[in-house]
């Protein structure tokens, strides 16, 4: 018989991993749809997708990223010395996750709002609107690659 022990540490680790699955898995899915939307060269479809992505980013990804960060910090504190902030893989993960949160809250979210205003002002087919959408897709793809590197870092724990 398998014995399951739901300790405080395991509960924190579960929340941490679940947040990563929601955030990074969702970001992977969004990138597939972004690729498909841009392949259509349909400005209306691309703009509609960008608007939907802004909604998901601010209401799903941002909270998941914050929960991930906080639960990761508490997991380290609750690990009874197994993990520490002096470990390179922990430092790398914290830096990239903090940067990603800053990029999301400081650029991706606000830029999506600016795209919405430019769309209302100039129309969805405006070269400025389409250029901004393509730029936001590029930045989010770069961010996703960094997040995937963090997932690898968290699993492999280099230097341990």
Reading the block at residue 159, the tokens are: 């230097």
**Domain presence at residue 122:** yes
**Domain presence at residue 149:** yes
**Domain presence at residue 160:** no
Q: How far apart are CA 97 and CA 103, in angstroms?
A: 10
CA 114 distance to own-chain centroid: 20
**Domain presence at residue 73:** yes
pLDDT in tens, 30-46: 999 999 988 998 988 88
Q: How far apart are CA 99 and CA 19, in angstroms?
A: 17
pLDDT in tens, 94-138: 999 989 988 988 898 888 888 888 988 999 889 999 899 999 999
Reading the block at residue 12, the tokens are: 């924190």
**Domain presence at residue 36:** yes
**Domain presence at residue 33:** yes
Q: What is the largest CA-CA distance in the chain?
A: 65
**Domain presence at residue 41:** yes
**Domain limits for position 12:** 8-77+84-154
Predicted TM-score (pTM) of the model is: 0.87
**Domain presence at residue 159:** no
Query: Could you give the number of structural domains in the chain?
Result: 1
- Helices within 41-108 (DSSP H only): 43-56, 62-78, 88-103
């Amino acid at each position: 018989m398998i014995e399951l022990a739901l300790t405080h540490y395991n509960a924190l680790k579960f929340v941490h991993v679940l947040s990563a699955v929601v955030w990074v898995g969702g970001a992977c899915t969004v990138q597939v749809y972004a690729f498909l939307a841009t392949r259509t060269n349909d400005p209306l479809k691309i703009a509609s997708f960008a608007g939907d992505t802004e909604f998901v980013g601010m209401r799903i990804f941002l909270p998941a990223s914050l929960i991930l960060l906080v639960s990761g910090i508490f997991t380290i504190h609750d690990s009874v010395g197994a993990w520490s902030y002096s470990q390179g893989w922990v430092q790398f993960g914290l830096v990239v996750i903090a940067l990603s949160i800053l990029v999301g809250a400081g650029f991706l979210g606000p830029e999506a709002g600016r795209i919405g205003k430019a769309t209302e002002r100039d129309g969805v087919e405006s070269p400025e609107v389409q250029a901004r959408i393509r730029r936001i897709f590029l930045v989010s793809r770069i961010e996703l690659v960094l997040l995937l590197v963090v997932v690898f870092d968290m699993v492999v724990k280099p230097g341990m």
